[in-house]
Amino acid sequence: MAGTGERRAAANTFGGTLGERRRQPIDMRSPRFTTQLTATVVATYLLFALGAMTAAASGATPLAWGHYVAAAAGWLLVAVTAVRSWLGGHDRWVTVGLAGGTLLYLGQGTAGLVGRIGGASDVGEFHLLGAVLVFATLLLSLVRHLDREVAASDGAGAEAVAGIDDEPFEGDRGGKSVDGLDGDGVESPERSGSGERVRDRVRAYAALTKPRLMWLLCLLALAGMALARIAAPTSGGGGAAAGAATANVTLHGITVVATLAGGVLAIGASGTFNHVFEHDRDRRMDRTADRPVATARVPVRRAAAFGVALAALSLVVLWTYATPLATLLTAAAIVYYSVVYTVVLKPNTRWNTAIGGGSGALPALIGWAAVTGSIGIPAIVLTALVVAWTPAHFYNLAIAYREDYAAGGYPMLPVVAGVSTTRRRTCYWLGGTLVATVLLGVVADLGVLYAVVTTVAAAVFLRSIVRQYERGTDRAAYRTFHASNAYLGAVLAAVLLEALLVG
Ligand code: HEM
Ligand SMILES: CC(C)=CCC/C(C)=C/CC/C(C)=C/COP(=O)(O)OP(=O)(O)O
């Protein structure tokens, strides 16, 4: 990741900009207003999540009353923030957005109250849509505010961005790859005895499987299974909230273990194919240059054979102990990631992450299909959640490693469109993720625990992005990447806890 300011600022081979380096830390003009605006967005989201998840269950009384009081307090906060924006002379569009949010919020509250008085016992679709609109308006206002703060601090227009040269950024593992197994820890063959050589080889093959990714993908498959337990309908594809009776799916230990084992083997196969197809470009990138195939510690043909063996074993395990649909979906996930993403999308389009994210989202469907043999609405919503989450996860890393990706010849968003555009898109995808999280709670009829856990996680994620704007460093972007993993982990853990509570 070394390189001069000049090199970093130069136009790259895609004709885009890598984003200029700042010489000064970002000097936010109004940090207190930023904090208030962030708190307003989080409070509105909490209300949205709690309201969506408790309204159906509560009928009328204490929870509903709590919702009214919280809604009124939330509205006051939005209104005060709007007035403060106006009086403080903040950007016109921020004030317009906040004023619009205040009015929308009022309309939304009135409609909800009228609906309740009219005897509605359920949270209506329009009420939910209204909440989404209010939340989106406030989030857009926050993003606009942050963009203007950075532009004003820089004094050189909105595109002057990120990456203070305060400390060289090399990632948590000294710039080494996600595998965490290849790289410095792997001995050169001539250095060691035969026992050491065997150990090195095992480590190299293990590195091919990208083990660091597995915990979250396995948690996703587990959440898919847990959702089926909570919300699979007796027939058809609707979720619990669709009014269908739930089937009370039993999770047999053998199916659960086999699905996870098949999933681990499939991820290992996908990762191995990824190493095979990318070994040339991997050599050109600091982060990946020491991967086993890139360095020829594992020959291409052997790695390919290893990948085929893992894939075959995975499909046999799933076919034998899970369901044909889960097996088919897993085969599709392997092809999607190894070929569609790695070979077709990643080197050719800036949309590689947004479209390619579908491959990593499939474990949600696989988990559900493994225990039901079908596909259900809650599993589809969880898949959509992960599709939206993926750019909010990866764009942070793409910012931190943008020079590396440019060196590898990949048209990642910060490489072709600059850092500020990427950061803005991260916020939009985060917004989509948060809305999908609430929707999942609604279609699967999840409870207060889910609403609270996911809102706290959302606050941490959002705060991390605000910090990234404030600090402008690659390290701050890397922290947001970790916050993204924590966010998805918390959402999935909350789904599992809800399933345990169901009994
Ligand atoms: C197009 C989609 C995706 C891209 C391009 C992507 C990219 C990456 C990259 C490059 C890393 C390595 C970071 C490093 O070297 O430090 C990474 C790490 C990781 N990713 Fe993703 N990712 C994607 C989707 C997913 C999905 C769907 C999941 C799980 C549901 C996931 C979970 C993880 C985890 C758990 C790590 C390891 C974090 C750590 O080292 O602590 N990723 N991702
Ligand atoms: C169930 C199943 C088979 C799922 C497989 C899909 C899968 C492994 C998804 C994860 C996506 C991912 C980690 C991409 C890494 O990006 P990258 O490959 O661009 O990262 P790199 O630059 O480190 O190679």
Instruction: Answer yes or no: are the C-beta atoms of 165 and 5 closer than 8 Å.
Output: yes
Element (H, E) at 291: none
Strand partners, 11: 17
- From ligand 1's centre to the CA of 378, what distance in Å? 24
**Closest atom, ligand 2, to C-alpha of 285:** 22
Instruction: Answer yes or no: are the C-beta atoms of 8 and 163 closer than 8 Å.
Output: yes
- Give the DSSP letter of residue 348: T
**Closest atom, ligand 2, to C-alpha of 352:** 19
Q: How far is CA 142 from the centre of its chain?
A: 20
The residue type of 358 is: G
Instruction: Answer yes or no: are the C-beta atoms of 200 and 189 closer than 8 Å.
Output: yes
Give the count of beta carbons closer than 10 Å to the beta carbon of residue 157.
9
| Locus of tokens 């390189």 | 3
Where does ligand 2 bind, in terms of residues with CB under 6 Å? 177-178, 213, 217, 263, 266-267, 270-271, 274, 278, 330, 333-334, 337, 346, 359-360, 362-363
Whether the CB of 171 sits within 6 Å of ligand 1: yes
- Give the DSSP letter of residue 345: I
Helix (H, G, I), strand (E, B) or coil at 77: helix
Best residue for ligand 2 mutational test, from 267, 313, 343, 345 (most atoms within 8 Å of Cβ): 267
Tokens for 16, please give them: 């885009």
According to the model, what pLDDT value does residue 187 have? 44
The residue type of 291 is: R
What is the per-residue DSSP string for 229-297?
HHH-BSSSS--GGGTPPB------HHHHHHHHHHHHHHHHHHHHHHHHHHHHHHHTSTTTTT-TTTTTS
Instruction: Answer yes or no: are the C-beta atoms of 104 and 133 closer than 8 Å.
Output: yes
Tokens for 131, please give them: 């909440």
- Whole-angstrom distance, CA of residue 119 vs CA of residue 206: 60
Best residue for ligand 1 mutational test, from 182, 393, 474, 475 (most atoms within 8 Å of Cβ): 393
- From ligand 2's centre to the CA of 413, what distance in Å? 17
Strand partners, 246: 233
Q: What is the mean pLDDT of each run of 10 residues along the chain (503 residues)?
A: 37 54 62 94 91 63 74 93 93 95 90 69 71 95 94 59 50 51 44 82 96 97 95 61 64 92 98 97 96 96 98 98 97 98 96 94 98 95 98 97 95 95 97 97 91 95 95 93 98 95 75
Instruction: Answer yes or no: are the C-beta atoms of 477 and 396 closer than 8 Å.
Output: yes
- Burial of 438 from C-beta contacts in 10 A (0-12 / 13-18 / 19+): buried
According to the model, what pLDDT value does residue 327 have? 98
Whether the CB of 213 sits within 6 Å of ligand 1: yes
- From ligand 1's centre to the CA of 484, what distance in Å? 10
Helix axes 31-58, 92-117, angle to 10 degrees: 20
**Closest atom, ligand 1, to C-alpha of 481:** 38
Q: Look at ligand 1, atom 43, and give the residue with the nearest C-alpha.
A: 394
Instruction: Answer yes or no: are the C-beta atoms of 1 and 18 closer than 8 Å.
Output: no
- From ligand 1's centre to the CA of 388, what distance in Å? 14
Tokens for 440, please give them: 């999942």
- From ligand 1's centre to the CA of 390, what distance in Å? 8
Whether the CB of 212 sits within 6 Å of ligand 1: yes
Q: How far is CA 9 from the centre of its chain?
A: 28
- From ligand 1's centre to the CA of 468, what distance in Å? 19
Instruction: Answer yes or no: are the C-beta atoms of 410 and 347 closer than 8 Å.
Output: yes
Strand partners, 17: 11
Q: Cβ contacts of residue 267 below 8 Å, gap of 6+? A: 209, 210, 213, 214, 217
- Return phi, psi of residue 187, to 5°: -80, 150
The question of ipTM being above 0.90 is answered as: yes
Helix (H, G, I), strand (E, B) or coil at 170: coil
The residue type of 341 is: Y
Torsion, Cα 188 191 195 199, to 10 degrees, reads -20
* Ramachandran class of 174: left when φ > 0, alpha when ψ lies in -120 to 50, beta otherwise: left
Best residue for ligand 1 mutational test, from 390, 405, 429 (most atoms within 8 Å of Cβ): 390
Helix (H, G, I), strand (E, B) or coil at 485: helix
Smallest Cα–Cα separation from 288: which of 279, 297, 298, 296?
279
| Locus of tokens 């086993």 | 292
Instruction: Answer yes or no: are the C-beta atoms of 179 and 35 closer than 8 Å.
Output: no
- From ligand 2's centre to the CA of 357, what distance in Å? 9
According to the model, what pLDDT value does residue 166 have? 44
Q: Look at ligand 1, atom 15, and give the residue with the nearest C-alpha.
A: 178
For CA atoms 464, 469, 470, 476, give the dihedral sign: positive
Whether the CB of 217 sits within 6 Å of ligand 1: yes
Q: Look at ligand 2, atom 11, and give the residue with the nearest C-alpha.
A: 360
**Closest atom, ligand 1, to C-alpha of 176:** 15
Ligand that comes closest to the CA of residue 354:
1
For CA atoms 80, 459, 429, 238, give the dihedral sign: negative
**Closest atom, ligand 1, to C-alpha of 386:** 27
- Whole-angstrom distance, CA of residue 335 vs CA of residue 428: 28
- Whole-angstrom distance, CA of residue 351 vs CA of residue 348: 9
- Total residue count of the chain as it appears in this document: 503
